[in-house]
């Protein structure tokens, strides 16, 4: 018995096959076309490209595993959150998807806060209106493309669109739905009040499920396109942060992870919906039934380093950049990076925030720039730990690291030093696709629940302790970093 997990990310689709012992049997991926981004905050992708990549990744992982399609007991999906996929009555895509980092919908956020009230919206959904959320993107289409809006019959998020293509079913898990701004997060159901106030018909919204629940089956048409077996069950899965937390074992109160991918997320599991009155943290349903989570988001985490490389030294391997950065002392000799390439969520909630190097001198070289980027991203993530302390959200033991920021030794140590907590690396950090596969295993009955799946599958490979001298340097550095945004936020062209 094996399980297929798929992650429909921003840059590509990844597929992993995991066995009943929680071991990865095979993995494969297929890149997406680069998303279309503009200077005014637009970011779009073509859902057809996700489906193309999904087919390629599924066929590739089946080949790599040397298994039969009949060996796959269940499928789990995860992917980039918040993207608005708008379909007509026939299930055809009406326009490219406005994805998670699209920030054009600030006017629609303001409209929602006026219509419903900001405090009331946080009461109903545990979150304020932000340009990243799905509802605000839908409302932008309403206001700017009324001819398309008039044809909308269904609204999905990216991984749920791929499930639709796999099965013909319109379904979504409650963890993903938390990021639409249409979910009553406390009661894990669609908010009739928010839908009515925003003019969104409830029939546009897919059926809701808990993450490990089977909600669809592979269709004959999709089986022919992917090599899967028709009738293979598919669980609801979770958005990338929920599934990634499962893949890292962040399930119970006090457990915390820090993941640096394209964006960066500090994620804490809770046993109740903890609301931040300021809306600076997101409060979502967890992929574990009956639990919730809070998270802070840095919009351009790994994206900051990728932007630097692709702009100033295209094609240079990241390990070469790290070799330069490791020669630079902690604190980058007074150089700071604020990672606001696509605005910022936590804690500023400012889609107009802009990135900057601060303190640049002729003595700084490429290694300083690279290390300052890694430190600046980590300072930004530390802002979430500061909010956790303010709201009484516990951080017990080590912080588990994931994503590209967990791959390099330097960035791992920087995180331990800036967070002020020991950090852990798992033996097999396969990210969201792995977590989706574990959810599929629970749905197939291989494990009784998500906790049992993680107990069976996860092991810690390494623990790093904060270095005392670096802690002192970074405490001073963080105090300076926190002064930069207030000092520069009005300096916009």
Give the DSSP letter of residue 225.
H
CA–CA distance, 469 with 481 (Å, rounded to integer): 18
Length of the chain: 493
Q: What is the mean pLDDT of residues 57-73?
A: 97
Percent above pLDDT 90 for the chain: 91
| Per-residue pLDDT, 490 | 86
Q: Answer yes or no: is 205 within a domain.
A: yes
CA–CA distance, 143 with 257 (Å, rounded to integer): 38
- pLDDT above 80 (res 39): no
**Mean residue pLDDT across the chain:** 95
Give the DSSP letter of residue 404.
G
| Per-residue pLDDT, 472 | 97
Q: Answer yes or no: is 90 within a domain.
A: yes
| Per-residue pLDDT, 407 | 83
142-171 residue pLDDT tens: 999 999 999 999 999 999 999 999 999 999
- pLDDT above 70 (res 488): yes
- pLDDT above 80 (res 492): no
CA–CA distance, 169 with 435 (Å, rounded to integer): 22
Q: What is the mean pLDDT of residues 424-436?
A: 87
461-487 residue pLDDT tens: 999 999 999 999 999 999 999 999 999
* Catalytic residue selected from 173, 240, 276, 417: 240
The count of domains in the chain is: 1
CATH number, position 130:
3.30.420.40
| Per-residue pLDDT, 261 | 86
- pLDDT above 70 (res 423): yes
| Per-residue pLDDT, 428 | 73
Phi, psi of 122 (to 5 degrees): -65, -40
Q: Answer yes or no: is 342 within a domain.
A: no
- pLDDT above 70 (res 493): no
CA–CA distance, 238 with 432 (Å, rounded to integer): 9
Question: Which structural domain range is residue 109 located in?
Answer: 2-242
| Per-residue pLDDT, 212 | 98
CA–CA distance, 369 with 335 (Å, rounded to integer): 8
- pLDDT above 80 (res 240): yes
- pLDDT above 80 (res 12): yes
297-347 residue pLDDT tens: 999 999 999 999 999 999 999 999 999 999 999 999 999 999 999 899 899
- pLDDT above 80 (res 429): no
Q: pTM value?
A: 0.89
Q: What is the mean pLDDT of residues 180-187?
A: 98
Percent above pLDDT 70 for the chain: 100
Q: Answer yes or no: is 15 within a domain.
A: yes
Q: What is the mean pLDDT of residues 22-41?
A: 90
| Per-residue pLDDT, 365 | 97
Collapsing DSSP states into helix, strand and coil, what is residue 152? Answer: coil
Q: Answer yes or no: is 439 within a domain.
A: no
Q: Answer yes or no: is 278 within a domain.
A: no
Q: Answer yes or no: is 164 within a domain.
A: yes
Give the DSSP letter of residue 211.
T
Q: Answer yes or no: is 231 within a domain.
A: yes
Q: Which of 7, 73, 72 is nearest to 443 (CA)?
A: 73
- Tell me if residue 173 is catalytic: no
| Per-residue pLDDT, 55 | 98
- Which pair of structure tokens corresponds to residue 181? 């701004």
Q: What is the mean pLDDT of residues 369-397?
A: 96
From residue 336, alpha-carbon distances to 415, 479, 481 in Å are: 15, 12, 7
| Per-residue pLDDT, 445 | 97
| Per-residue pLDDT, 275 | 87
């Amino acid at each position: 018995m094996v399980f297929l997990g798929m992650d429909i990310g921003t840059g590509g689709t990844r597929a992993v096959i995991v066995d009943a012992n929680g071991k990865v049997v095979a993995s494969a991926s297929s890149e997406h076309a680069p998303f279309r981004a503009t200077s005014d905050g637009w970011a779009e992708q073509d859902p057809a490209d996700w489906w193309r990549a999904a087919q390629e990744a599924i066929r590739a992982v089946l080949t790599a595993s040397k298994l039969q399609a009949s060996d796959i007991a269940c499928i789990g999906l995860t992917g980039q959150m918040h993207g608005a996929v708008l379909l007509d009555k026939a299930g055809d895509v009406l326009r490219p998807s406005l994805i998670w980092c699209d920030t054009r919908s600030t006017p629609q956020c303001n409209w929602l806060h006026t219509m419903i009230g900001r405090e009331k919206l946080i009461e109903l959904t545990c979150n304020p209106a932000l340009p990243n959320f799905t509802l605000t993107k839908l409302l932008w289409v309403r206001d700017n493309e009324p001819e398309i809006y008039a044809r909308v019959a269904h609204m999905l998020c990216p991984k749920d669109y791929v499930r639709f293509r796999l099965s013909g079913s319109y379904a979504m898990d409650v963890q993903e739905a938390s990021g639409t701004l249409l979910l009553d997060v406390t009661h894990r159901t669609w908010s009739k009040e928010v839908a009515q106030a925003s003019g969104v018909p409830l029939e546009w919204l897919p059926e809701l499920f808990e993450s490990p629940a089977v909600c669809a089956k592979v269709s004959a048409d999709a089986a022919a396109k992917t090599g899967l077996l028709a009738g293979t069950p598919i669980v609801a899965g979770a958005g990338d942060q929920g599934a990634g937390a499962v893949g890292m074992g962040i399930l119970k109160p006090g457990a915390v992870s820090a993941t640096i991918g394209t964006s960066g997320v500090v994620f804490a599991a809770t046993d109740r919906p903890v609301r931040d009155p300021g809306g600076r943290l997101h409060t979502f349903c967890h992929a574990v039934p009956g639990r919730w989570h809070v998270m802070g988001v840095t919009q351009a985490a790994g994206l900051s380093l990728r932007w630097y490389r692709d702009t100033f030294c295209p094609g240079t391997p990241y390990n070469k950049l790290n070799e330069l950065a490791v020669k630079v002392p902690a604190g980058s000799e007074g150089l700071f990076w604020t990672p606001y390439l696509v605005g910022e969520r936590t804690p500023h909630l400012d889609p107009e925030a802009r990135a900057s190097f601060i303190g640049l001198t002729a003595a700084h070289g490429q290694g300083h720039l690279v290390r300052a980027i890694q430190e600046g991203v980590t300072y930004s993530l530390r802002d979430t730990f500061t909010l956790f302390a303010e709201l009484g959200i516990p951080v017990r033991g080590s912080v588990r690291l994931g994503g590209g920021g967990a791959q390099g030794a330097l960035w791992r140590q920087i995180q331990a030093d800036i967070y002020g907590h020991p950090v852990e690396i798992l033996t097999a950090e396969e990210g969201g696709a792995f977590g989706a596969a574990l959810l599929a295993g629970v749905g197939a009955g291989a494990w009784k629940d998500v906790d049992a799946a993680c107990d069976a599958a996860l092991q810690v490979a390494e623990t790093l302790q904060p270095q005392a001298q670096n802690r002192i340097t970074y405490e001073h550095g963080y105090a300076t970093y926190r002064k930069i945004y207030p000092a520069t936020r009005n300096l916009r062209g």
